Amino acid sequence: MTTPARAAFAAGLAALALAVPFPAFAGEEAAVVKGKGAASAAKGAVALPRGFRSWTHVRSMVVTDPEEGMYGFHDVYANRAALRGLRARPGRTAYPDGAQFVVSIFEVKQEKGLVVAGAKQRDVVQLKDRRAKETGGWRFASFDPAGKPVAIDPATCWGCHAQASGTDHVFTRYTE
Ligand code: HEC
């Protein structure tokens, strides 16, 4: 990891420690959105992109402490536009509208010296949309394991992602 990347990541993790009670991905209330009309009526609704499992897998991360807001086995996926942003030279990061990330978060299973992903907990989405000015030009969403939207307060997501200001509010780092 380069020093700025390490710093940004440390900042992210430090923020995790501060997030008590953790608002990150847990503690969200289930919002059942029925039918297309309801989904599009929800202000700023972001869909869980179909086929994101075929996007580029960028990174994995494990937060082993169940008391942590971001507890879980994280797999981060990027679509093409997001991948271009990730690969941009340091200091030149700017994501175009439509750039999108999905993090699949699983239980952490530790057995016989292995740490593996257990049952799916949720998928979280970050979509570049410059109209979403209040949240840094990104829209945030969360989905339960069945793919149903979960109610979140995007301001909570933004409260933490705002710290990654040197990389257009994206924490994930890319390595070949
Ligand atoms: C306490 C800080 C914090 C909060 C709050 C937070 N995140 Fe993140 N987020 C991170 C960190 C650190 C990463 C990079 C590590 C990872 O998830 O694998 C990340 C990564 C992501 C990514 C992958 C793209 C990127 O920026 O690296 C998405 C998508 C994402 N978060 C969505 C959300 C959503 C949706 C919410 C609100 C429900 C949220 N986040 C709230 C810290 C936070």
Integer Cα distance of 123 and 75 in angstroms: 9
The candidate with the shortest Cα–Cα distance to 157, out of 126, 133, 132, 128, is 126
Q: Which of 169, 171, 174 to mutate to test the pocket of ligand 1 (most atoms within 8 A of CB)?
A: 171
Each residue's pLDDT tens digit, 11-37: 455 444 333 333 334 333 333 333 343
HSE-CB of 38 using CA atoms within 13 angstroms:
7
**Average pLDDT across the chain, whole number:** 82
Q: Which of 126, 150, 165 to mutate to test the pocket of ligand 1 (most atoms within 8 A of CB)?
A: 126
Q: Is 173 inside any structural domain?
A: no
**Residue with more model confidence, 41 or 166:** 166
Residue 118 neighbours by CB under 8 Å, 6+ apart = 73, 106, 107, 108, 109
Task: Supply the pLDDT for residue 141.
Answer: 98
Burial 22-43 (b: 16+ CB within 10 A, else e): bbbbbebeeeebeeeeeeeeee
Query: Ligand 1 site: residues with CB under 6 angstroms?
Result: 12, 15-16, 19, 23-25, 61, 69, 74, 76, 101, 103, 124-126, 140-142, 152, 156-157, 160-161, 170-172
Phi, psi of 95 (to 5 degrees): -90, 135
Instruction: Kindly report the CATH number assigned to the domain that includes residue 10.
Output: 3.50.70.20
Q: Is 103 inside any structural domain?
A: yes
Q: How confident is the model at residue 43 (pLDDT cuts 50, 70, 90)?
A: low
Give the nearest ligand 1 atom to 60 CA: 18
Residue ranges making up the domain that contains 96:
3-167
Q: Is 176 inside any structural domain?
A: no
Give the nearest ligand 1 atom to 142 CA: 35
The domain total for the chain is 1
Each residue's pLDDT tens digit, 134-169: 999 999 999 999 999 999 999 999 999 999 999 999
Block residue for tokens 């430090």:
14
Residue nearest to atom 13 of ligand 1 (CA): 171
Q: Is 172 inside any structural domain?
A: no
Integer Cα distance of 117 and 127 in angstroms: 25
Each residue's pLDDT tens digit, 107-144: 999 999 999 999 999 999 999 999 999 999 999 999 99
In one-letter notation, the amino acid at residue 110 is Q
C-alpha of residue 112 to centroid of ligand 1, in Å: 30
